[in-house]
């Protein structure tokens, strides 16, 4: 399947088939709905990236806070004398 072989006549035939299937009056509505769907998709992508970046920064802050906490001294355990 080679997409480079699509030329002018093939595009015209495809457009003609689309017009016959959907009708001339429905094409603007179809194009408008495709545009709004694309906008919703891009908005969702941006929101997902923002939430991901927010989660990463919160995770980094919590890891930083954990490393900054003073550690409690460990109690010494009586060890038997080395022989």
pLDDT of residue 3: 60
DSSP per-residue string spanning 45-59: HHHHHHHHHHHHHHH
pLDDT of residue 76: 65
Phi and psi (nearest 5°) for 24? -65, -30
Distance CA 63, CA 55 (A): 12
Establish how many alpha carbons lie within 13 A of residue 4's alpha carbon, considering only the half-sphere containing its beta carbon. Answer: 0
pLDDT of residue 1: 53
pLDDT band at 41 (very low <50, low <70, confident <90, very high): very high
Q: Between these two residues, 4 and 52, which has the higher pLDDT value?
A: 52
Give the domain ranges of the chain. Answer: 28-55
Report pLDDT digits (tens) over 46-60.
999 999 999 888 888
pLDDT of residue 5: 78
């Amino acid at each position: 399947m080679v997409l480079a072989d699509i030329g002018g006549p093939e595009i015209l035939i495809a457009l003609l088939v689309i017009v016959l299937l959907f009708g001339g009056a429905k094409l603007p509505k179809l194009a408008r709905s495709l545009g709004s769907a694309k906008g919703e998709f891009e908005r969702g992508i941006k929101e997902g990236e923002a939430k991901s970046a927010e989660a990463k920064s919160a995770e980094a802050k919590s890891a930083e806070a954990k490393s900054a906490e003073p550690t409690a001294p460990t109690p010494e355990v009586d060890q038997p004398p080395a022989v």
